[in-house]
């Protein structure tokens, strides 16, 4: 039999509808039917499953629905206005009723009271509560008219189109972009790494992160609307971003043109906050001018500088630097590359970075092509590493290993006879191998000390200003039992803390120093690390290999009066 309409197709499927169900559910349903089986009742039950009757019922329902659509409202109801006088779209992206994007697929409410609801979502809880909310806010809303999803979409497309020329013509848009640039200029002049802007509870706050510390830069919060405008303007300036700004979505974007001098790009992250707030984090990527080519200025100790030189002398293997964001890993890598160029003038050195942070003369720097989702970036990154491997390198620097694909490629390059330098997010040097195992590298690849050459970790610690630092008198100025703990570790040292600040510093601090640790692994430590015995490995490194960890060097920095012990307690770990 040929199908005449959708209803018949639908009805014909009915008798066999149970066939696809799992046997267990089918048995349960048949059991239920048997329990209800009484004379007469089962016959009626069966009758409703009869294809012809179901078809008739369905047709009647559809006919009723179609009639209701054509005639909005029942005769007694107040008539909603005609479409041309429906007024402002309250559920628009910037409308009075702040409506999340998902809901905007299902419902459109106008100022005139006209309410369009997608037929397929008529019973949705969020649709019903949106109408209730609009009424609670004092809007007069007519009974909904049910329409296709396409009709709802068209309403929003039209509203977006209508909003566009207004925005372009208004001077405010240009003014807001200028304001974003002003903030960025201020930030770059202050040597800021990140700008944080949070719109929350009706107000906007702005912070700069400098030398790792976050400080507010406005004395009084701005109104929320101003913060939202800045977010919108920053998004509009991006050259890599999603098609449209969505206040309630997590969005990433990137600005790389028209920026103040010295900034090569801005990485933007937008987050929804609470019910109608927004957070914008702007990471400033500078065209860094290298301040030198040695490791002393960075704060490495002489024996560490020798160890780094030894690591550079290996023609094969991996050297990995770990630390959190902002711990100076890329600066250390840059110095390593500069030293390599000097020490091995004939070598072909390639770097893969996202993006290249420093210009390093004598090195071919491959950028990672623009990508704005994590997946796209991971793919682009792996492609760039693979390209570098095919380009006959002697040594390679891979900016960061984040995914299994990039880690695999890094190890494969080392196994095929290259020297590879990279970074990874891990807390300390001993955690690098466990981190690689987490990422998905096979343990046997991590067991060869001829491949795993160096594992290092570092932090950047603010140096106290020598002009205004304060000498700690008999432990009274330090919080808690810190004085007692210091006495135990550094019985004879003169301890200094940050001073009140003077014309030579900022709030008692001036510049930063590296605090690092370097593990040169042997067979045994790699065996322990790849078999899940991290604590045993740590003990073995400190006791048998006489390893010096970050705390060892932190105490040396305190004893030299260079850093504040409170800062060490906070950033390196509890001094014990
Ligand atoms: Zn000072």
Q: Model ipTM?
A: 0.98
Query: Based on the domain organization, do 235 and 161 belong to the same domain?
Result: no
Query: Based on the domain organization, do 418 and 531 belong to the same domain?
Result: yes
Residue 63 parent element (H or E): helix 51-70
Mean pLDDT over 499-507 rounds to 89
Question: How many angstroms separate the alpha carbon of residue 556 from the centre of ligand 1?
Answer: 21
pLDDT at res. 410: 92
Interval 441-489: pLDDT, tens: 999 989 999 999 999 999 999 999 999 999 987 656 788 889 889 989 9
Instruction: Please report, rounded to a whole number, the percentage of residues in the chain having pLDDT higher than 70.
Output: 82
Burial of 436 (0-12, 13-18, 19+ CB in 10 A): buried
Query: Based on the domain organization, do 136 and 179 belong to the same domain?
Result: no
Question: How many angstroms separate the alpha carbon of residue 561 from the centre of ligand 1?
Answer: 14
Cα gap 23→18, rounded to integer Å: 9
Query: Based on the domain organization, do 386 and 350 belong to the same domain?
Result: yes
Query: Based on the domain organization, do 277 and 193 belong to the same domain?
Result: yes
Cα gap 345→504, rounded to integer Å: 41
* Residue 493 domain flag: no
405 by DSSP, 3-state: which?
helix
* Residue 500 domain flag: no
Interval 179-210: pLDDT, tens: 999 999 989 888 898 999 999 988 999 999 98
Q: Which of 138, 165, 192 is the last residue of a domain?
A: 165
Lowest pLDDT segment from 113-122, 158-167, 169-178, 317-326: 158-167
Query: In which residue are the tokens 């969505």 written?
Result: 246
Mean pLDDT over 56-84 rounds to 50
Each as own residue / partner, the long-range contacts of residues 53-56 (CB below 8 Å, 24 or more positions apart, any chain) are 54/11, 54/14, 55/7, 55/8, 55/11
Q: Which residues surround ligand 1, an ion (CB under 5 A)?
A: 465, 467-468, 502, 504-505
Question: How many angstroms separate the alpha carbon of residue 462 from the centre of ligand 1?
Answer: 13
Mean pLDDT over 81-88 rounds to 68
Q: Which of 127, 150, 165 is the last residue of a domain?
A: 165
Interval 220-239: pLDDT, tens: 889 999 999 999 999 999 88
Q: Which of 46, 70, 94 is the last residue of a domain?
A: 70
Query: Based on the domain organization, do 312 and 438 belong to the same domain?
Result: yes
176 by DSSP, 3-state: which?
helix
Query: Based on the domain organization, do 445 and 543 belong to the same domain?
Result: yes
Q: What is the CATH number of the domain that holds 370?
A: 3.40.50.300
* Residue 486 domain flag: no
Burial 266-285 (b: 16+ CB within 10 A, else e): bbbebebeeebbbbbbbbbb
Confidence of residue 15 (pLDDT cuts 50, 70, 90): very low
Q: What is the CATH number of the domain that holds 227?
A: 3.30.450.90
More confidently predicted of 229 and 213 = 229
Question: Two tokens at 550?
Answer: 């970050």
Question: How many angstroms separate the alpha carbon of residue 562 from the centre of ligand 1?
Answer: 13
Cα gap 437→537, rounded to integer Å: 15
Q: Is the pLDDT of residue 6 over 50?
A: no
Confidence of residue 370 (pLDDT cuts 50, 70, 90): low
**β strands within 425-481, DSSP E:** 452-464, 470-471
Question: How many angstroms separate the alpha carbon of residue 510 from the centre of ligand 1?
Answer: 7
* Residue 435 domain flag: yes
Query: Based on the domain organization, do 540 and 402 belong to the same domain?
Result: yes
Question: How many angstroms separate the alpha carbon of residue 500 from the centre of ligand 1?
Answer: 7
Question: How many angstroms separate the alpha carbon of residue 463 from the centre of ligand 1?
Answer: 11
Q: Is the pLDDT of residue 116 over 60?
A: yes
pLDDT at res. 4: 45
Mean pLDDT over 426-442 rounds to 95
* Residue 203 domain flag: yes
* Residue 200 domain flag: yes
Boundaries of domain holding 244: 171-286
Rounded to 5°, the CA angle 296-298-304 comes to 55
* Residue 477 domain flag: no
* Residue 180 domain flag: yes
pLDDT at res. 42: 45
Give the DSSP letter of residue 390.
T
> How many structural domains compose the chain?
4
Query: Based on the domain organization, do 403 and 528 belong to the same domain?
Result: yes
Query: Based on the domain organization, do 62 and 89 belong to the same domain?
Result: no
pLDDT at res. 158: 82
Query: Based on the domain organization, do 180 and 252 belong to the same domain?
Result: yes
Cα gap 556→572, rounded to integer Å: 13
């Amino acid at each position: 039999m040929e199908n005449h309409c959708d209803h018949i197709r639908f009805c014909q499927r009915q008798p066999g509808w149970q066939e696809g169900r799992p046997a267990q559910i089918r048995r349960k349903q048949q059991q239920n039917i048997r329990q209800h089986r009484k004379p007469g009742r089962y016959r009626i039950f069966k009758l409703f499953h009869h294809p012809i009757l179901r078809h008739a019922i369905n047709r009647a329902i559809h006919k009723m629905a179609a009639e209701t659509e054509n005639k909005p409202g029942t005769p007694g109801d107040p008539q909603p206005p005609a479409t041309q006088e429906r007024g402002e779209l309250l559920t628009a992206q910037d409308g009075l009723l702040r409506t999340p994007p998902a809901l905007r697929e299902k419902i459109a409410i106008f100022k005139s009271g006209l309410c369009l609801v997608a037929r397929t979502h008529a019973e949705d809880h969020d649709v019903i509560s949106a109408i209730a909310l609009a009424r609670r806010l004092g809007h007069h809303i007519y009974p909904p008219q049910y329409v296709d999803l396409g009709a709802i979409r068209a309403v929003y497309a039209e509203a977006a189109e209508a909003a566009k020329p207004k925005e372009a013509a208004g001077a405010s848009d240009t003014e807001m972009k200028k304001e974003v640039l002003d903030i960025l200029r201020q930030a770059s002049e202050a040597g800021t790494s990140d700008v944080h802007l949070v719109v929350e509870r009706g107000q906007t706050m702005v912070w700069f992160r400098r030398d790792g510390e976050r400080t507010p830069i406005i004395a009084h919060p701005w109104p929320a609307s101003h913060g939202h405008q800045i977010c919108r303007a920053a998004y509009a300036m991006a050259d890599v971003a999603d098609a449209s700004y969505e206040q309630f979505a997590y969005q990433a974007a990137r600005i790389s043109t028209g920026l103040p001098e010295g900034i090569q790009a801005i990485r933007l992250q937008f987050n929804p906050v609470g019910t109608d707030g927004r957070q914008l984090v702007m990471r400033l990527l500078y065209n860094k001018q290298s301040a030198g080519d040695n490791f002393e200025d960075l704060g490495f100790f002489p024996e560490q500088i020798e160890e780094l030189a030894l690591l550079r002398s290996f023609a094969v293997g991996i050297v990995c630097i770990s630390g959190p964001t902002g711990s100076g890993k890329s600066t250390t890598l840059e110095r390593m590359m500069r030293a390599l160029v000097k020490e091995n003038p004939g070598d072909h050195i390639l770097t893969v970075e996202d993006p290249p942070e420093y210009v390093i003369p004598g090195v071919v720097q491959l950028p990672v092509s623009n990508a704005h989702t994590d997946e796209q970036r991971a793919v682009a990154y792996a492609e760039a590493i693979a390209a570098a491997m095919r380009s006959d390198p002697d040594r390679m620097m891979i900016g960061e290993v984040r995914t299994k694909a990039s880690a695999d490629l890094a190890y494969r390059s080392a196994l095929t006879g290259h020297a590879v330098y990279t970074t990874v997010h891990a807390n300390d040097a001993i955690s690098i191998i466990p981190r690689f195992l987490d990422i998905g590298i096979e343990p046997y690849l991590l067991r060869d000390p001829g491949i795993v050459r160096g594992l290092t970790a570092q932090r950047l610690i603010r140096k106290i200003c020598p002009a205004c630092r304060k000498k700690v008198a008999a432990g009274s100025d330090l919080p808690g039992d810190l004085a007692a703990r210091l006495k135990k570790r550094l019985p004879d040292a003169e301890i200094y803390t940050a001073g009140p600040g003077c014309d030579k510093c900022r709030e008692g601090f001036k510049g930063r120093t590296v605090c690092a640790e370097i593990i040169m692994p042997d067979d045994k430590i790699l065996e322990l690390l790849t078999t899940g015995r991290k604590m045993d490995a740590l003990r073995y490194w400190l006791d048998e290999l006489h390893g010096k960890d970050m705390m060892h060097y932190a105490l040396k920095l305190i004893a030299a009066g260079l850093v504040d012990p409170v800062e060490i307690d906070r950033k390196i770990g509890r001094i014990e």
